[in-house]
Chain A
């Protein structure tokens, strides 16, 4: 079974621009979560989508948004990029639904804002 894939793997953007990152979950997984990883703040939860609905949201400004499509693929968007948005963005998928499920992570998208 194919793992979680994320595209692109690397991205360089300029302050003020916007960016869209994509995540394809494992087949059959309906939940997709996004995390930001930085050396200073560690791993922080951005949001989770389940069956095309945002089910949970972390403490990030409204510049960070996401969506999920009917095939469970998800995108996250960051508008008006700031230098502090430079990070590794990780996507994770799981079955979702009732109970606690293992989350499987993709390799991440490394975003550099200059």
Chain B
């Protein structure tokens, strides 16, 4: 079946450090890929997305590139801030009018000043 594997957490970084959270996927079809972020006590917010190979999604300084050859969608940010502390989820959905999201286990990120 379809699945998403993401980097185990928790991850702790100093402010202004470079961030990478790895995400790989297995899918029977040609998925769209997403990164969601969850702040404490809140629901999920869409951070960025990519719908086809070599697409780069970007938002708020975060980037991820859809790599079909390595089935990956790694999240990166050049300089993290304390406000980036949250749980990050990689997810996929297959097209064909199917809204079901398959999520990774989530990576808790803590940024220390």
Contacts and interface: CB of A to CB of B under 8 A. Distances in A.
Interface of A: 4, 31, 33, 35, 42-43, 45, 48, 50, 55-56, 58, 90, 92, 94, 96-108
Given A97-B97, A102-B46, 16 more contacts: A35-B101, A42-B105, A43-B89, A43-B106, A45-B101, A55-B97, A55-B99, A99-B95, A99-B97, A100-B32, A101-B99, A102-B49, A105-B43, A105-B44, A107-B43, A108-B43
Contacts of A98: 97
A48 B96 CA distance: 14
Name the 8 nearest CB pairs between A and B, nearest first. Answer: A105-B43, A43-B103, A105-B44, A100-B32, A107-B43, A42-B105, A45-B100, A56-B100
A56 B99 contact: yes
A94 B97 contact: no
Interface in B77-113: 89, 93, 95, 97-106
B99 A31 contact: yes
B45 interface: yes
Given A33-B99, A96-B99, A97-B97, A103 B46 contact: yes
Contacts of A35: 101
B42 interface: yes
Interface residues of B, number: 23
Contacts of A102: 46, 49
Q: Which of A45, A50, A90, A106 has the largest count of B CB atoms less than 10 A from its CB?
A: A45
Q: Name B's interface SS.
A: loop
Contacts of A94: 99
B99 A105 contact: no
A35 B97 CA distance: 18
Nearest to B33: A100
Q: Which of B43, B98, B103, B106 has the largest count of A CB atoms less than 10 A from its CB?
A: B43
Interface in B21-79: 32, 36, 41-46, 49, 51
29 contacts: A4-B43, A31-B99, A33-B99, A35-B101, A42-B103, A42-B104, A43-B89, A43-B101, A43-B106, A45-B101, A45-B102, A48-B98, A55-B99, A56-B100, A90-B44, A92-B44, A96-B99, A98-B97, A100-B51, A100-B93, A100-B95, A102-B46, A102-B49, A103-B99, A104-B46, A105-B43, A105-B45, A106-B43, A108-B42
